[in-house]
Amino acid sequence: MLFDTHAHLNATQFNEDVEQVIERARAESVSHIVVVGFDRPTIQRAMELAEQYSFIYAAVGWHPVDAIHMTDEDLIMIERLAAHPKVVALGEMGLDYYWDQSPKDVQKEVFRKQIRLAKKVKLPIIIHNRDATADIVDILREERAEEVGGVMHCFSGSIEVARQCMDMNFYISFGGPVTFKNAKKPKEVAKEIPLDRLLIETDCPYLTPHPFRGKRNEPSYVKYIAEAIAELKGLSFGEVAQKTSDNAKRLFGII
């Protein structure tokens, strides 16, 4: 039982073979996948996959890199889709100061609008953060995001930041980097996070874990994340798989 909490099976990299990719995930005991939308076409595709497969769920939101292109109509579309029974979260949303495609003030406004919407529709949020930790934490606090909570996806910050986020009702999710031999910090932080606040994800097709680093990522590889965390924490693979699945179900309201 493995729960991949963040997969982009809606990305064009899976256009040719998504069915086989999903079959491989099932063969590796992946019981649930959240496919995360980040713009118009990927939201559409996430909905299609969630309607097609019982074990696939959708998150709908707007990525900060493309914040400049989100319209009021897009926000209305996200609100409408939030009522769909297979939509379990809003996101991904957040701030990305690495790619310089949308001005910071636009990113912040689009982020705030989505947090407010999540509170209105009562869904948890999936946070994308790249080089923007202080502003993310400030906005989550100012907007009282703890009312809905959510997940810090592909977390790469310090244990102090992780604690601030956990205090605001957020889970901490780890992906491929926790398996990299030279990734000291994510390993140290993952070791410290209590098991009942941890989630695992692939963020496929990106961030492929060791030993497939450099190739296209896919949900069947989420077992490598669970293995790495089990090793770091001195727990069994089964316990990490079960606990992180239970956490994800609790967060996303899946019975």
Minimum distance, C-beta of residue 92 to Zn ion, in the bound complex (Å): 5
> Annotated binding site: which residue ranges?
6, 8, 92, 128, 153, 203
Q: Which stretch binds Zn ion (CB under 5 A): 124-132, 144-152, 213-221, 239-247?
A: 124-132
* Residue with Cβ nearer Zn ion (46 or 232): 46
* Lookup: tokens for 243: 């606990």
Q: Which residues in 67-96 contact Zn ion (CB under 5 A)?
A: 92
Minimum distance, C-beta of residue 65 to Zn ion, in the bound complex (Å): 9
CB count, 10 Å around CB of 137?
18
> Could you give the CA distance from residue 9 to residue 30 in angstroms, rounded to a whole number?
14
* Residue with Cβ nearer Zn ion (59 or 240): 59
* Lookup: tokens for 217: 């990522």
List the one residue from 128, 197, 223, 243 that touches Zn ion (CB under 5 A): 128
Minimum distance, C-beta of residue 130 to Zn ion, in the bound complex (Å): 8
* Strand stretches in 97-169, DSSP E: 125-130, 150-152
End-to-end CA distance of the chain: 14
* Residue with Cβ nearer Zn ion (74 or 203): 203
> Could you give the CA distance from residue 207 to residue 186 in angstroms, rounded to a whole number?
13
Q: Which x/- pattern over 176-205 shows residues binding Zn ion (rule: CB under 5 A)?
A: ---------------------------x--
> Annotated binding site for a divalent metal cation: which residue ranges?
6, 8, 92, 128, 153, 203
Minimum distance, C-beta of residue 201 to Zn ion, in the bound complex (Å): 8
> Could you give the CA distance from residue 30 to residue 125 in angstroms, rounded to a whole number?
22
| Residue 200 · residue 154 · CB < 8 Å | no
* Residue with Cβ nearer Zn ion (63 or 197): 63
Question: How far, CA to CA in Å, does 123 sit from each of 82, 108, 109, 150, 151?
Answer: 8, 20, 19, 8, 12
* Residue with Cβ nearer Zn ion (131 or 196): 131
Q: Which residues in 92-111 contact Zn ion (CB under 5 A)?
A: 92
Taking Cα atoms as reference points, which of 61, 50, 56, 52 lies closest to residue 25?
56
> Could you give the CA distance from residue 57 to residue 153 in angstroms, rounded to a whole number?
16
Q: Which residue is nearest to Zn ion (CB)?
A: 128
Positions in the binding site for Zn ion (CB under 5 A): 92, 128, 203
